[in-house]
Amino acid sequence: MLHIAPTPLVGAPGKIACAQRMKGYDASAVALSDYPKGGALEKIFIDQTLIFDEFMRSSIEDNVRRADVIHIHNYLPDDKITWLRDLNQTANYFYQAHSPLREGPLYWARAEGEVPFEFKAKLVVGQYLGRIYPSYIPVPNLILFSPSIRLRQPGEKLRVIFSPTHKQAGRWNSKHSSRLDSVLESLECLGKIEVVAPQNPVSPAALMALRRGCHVSIDEIATGAFHMVSLEGLCAGNIVINRADYFSKSIFSGFCEGQMPPFKYADDECIGKILLDLADDWKLTADLQKKSFEYFERYCEPLRLLKIFDAAYEIL
């Protein structure tokens, strides 16, 4: 199996390939380039991904030739589509969308007939994106970290982590709320909470280490969606705060025996009260942490969710 994408896509294709190797498949992930050189995201998401360059070209081409499944993620330029086609005309090709239409990263509808081979199936990240691509098969993002929990103790200050990778505008990609910034600053000044907010992007492993020492992970309260942060928060035994609406959560519940993820809803109007209530009640915090941890451990471990991809491939 070969996964190929324009960039590391925050590590998502590499995680799928890694989980497939854990299950015994011969799988690899390739990105045509890393995030911009010298930028904040360079080299942060490539631990499970090969970066296409002349040094790696021969090895990657060998992977392409022997692949029985080639899984294209988001977008490929015309020359790389031709390159794939020339190297392997017998593989089963799959397409997966990771991005909303007309929002960053730029999405080109390569799956809609422009590519000179037939896709066996079209997949989409099954969080909020399933409602944008209703004819695609929803598949989950995978979290490879082992689940853990560190319950809040009596007298311990509430530790809250908020770490958007970068600010973006758009209906679905925005993660910024000036109200949230103000609430976090005010509650920390009052001594009610301790905020963990890395000022620069850090590696996923370092961020997870920070998250494991917190009680609350805030994803975003701007869009009605949720992102990888919410799943990582569940893995770390955190209360996960986001603004995910019923539809976003119900899509994900399809991977989890119909059980909705135990997110704590918040928007600009109620985020202050929610954090204050948690800050003042260590037992409520611990009880909600347990629900997050138990949900992840029961439904979200990667080899369990990998069955969704197996089922998609089996439509051949």
Interval 252-266: pLDDT, tens:
999 999 999 999 999
Judge whether 2-142+303-313 and 158-300 match in fold: yes
In this prediction the pTM is 0.90
253/247 Cα distance (integer angstroms): 10
pLDDT at 221: 87
102/100 Cα distance (integer angstroms): 6
194/162 Cα distance (integer angstroms): 11
**Long-range contact pairs involving 37-44 (C-beta distance under 8 Å, separation at least 24):** 40/166, 40/200, 40/201, 41/165, 41/166, 41/201, 44/201, 44/202, 44/203, 44/204
Secondary structure of residue 195 in the 3-state scheme: strand
Extract the tokens encoding 305.
């969710």
273/278 Cα distance (integer angstroms): 9
200/183 Cα distance (integer angstroms): 21
Angle at the Cα of 211 (from 279 to 247), degrees rounded to 5?
80
Contact 187, 193 (CB under 8 A): yes
Amino acid at residue number 149 = I
Domain 158-300: give its CATH architecture.
3-Layer(aba) Sandwich (3.40)
Secondary structure of residue 260 in the 3-state scheme: coil
Dihedral sign from CA coordinates of 224, 228, 230, 234: positive
CB-based contacts of 202, cutoff 8 Å, min separation 6: 44, 163, 210
- 2-142+303-313 has which CATH code? 3.40.50
From the list 99, 136, 150, the residue with the least C-alpha distance to 292 is: 150
CB-based contacts of 212, cutoff 8 Å, min separation 6: 148, 150, 236, 237
**Cis omega (within 30 of 0) on the bond before 262?**
no
Per-residue pLDDT tens listing for the chain (316 residues): 999 999 999 999 999 999 999 999 999 999 999 998 888 888 898 999 999 988 899 999 999 999 999 999 988 888 998 999 999 999 999 999 887 765 555 555 545 555 566 889 999 999 888 888 888 999 999 999 999 999 999 999 999 999 865 555 555 555 667 788 899 999 999 999 999 998 888 889 999 999 999 999 999 888 888 999 999 999 999 999 999 999 999 999 999 999 999 999 999 999 999 999 999 999 999 999 999 999 999 999 999 999 999 999 986 5
DSSP state for residue 145 in the 8-state scheme: S
Contact 215, 159 (CB under 8 A): yes
Interval 149-160: pLDDT, tens:
999 999 999 999
Domain chopping of the chain, boundaries: 2-142+303-313, 158-300
From the list 191, 192, 231, 227, the residue with the least C-alpha distance to 211 is: 231
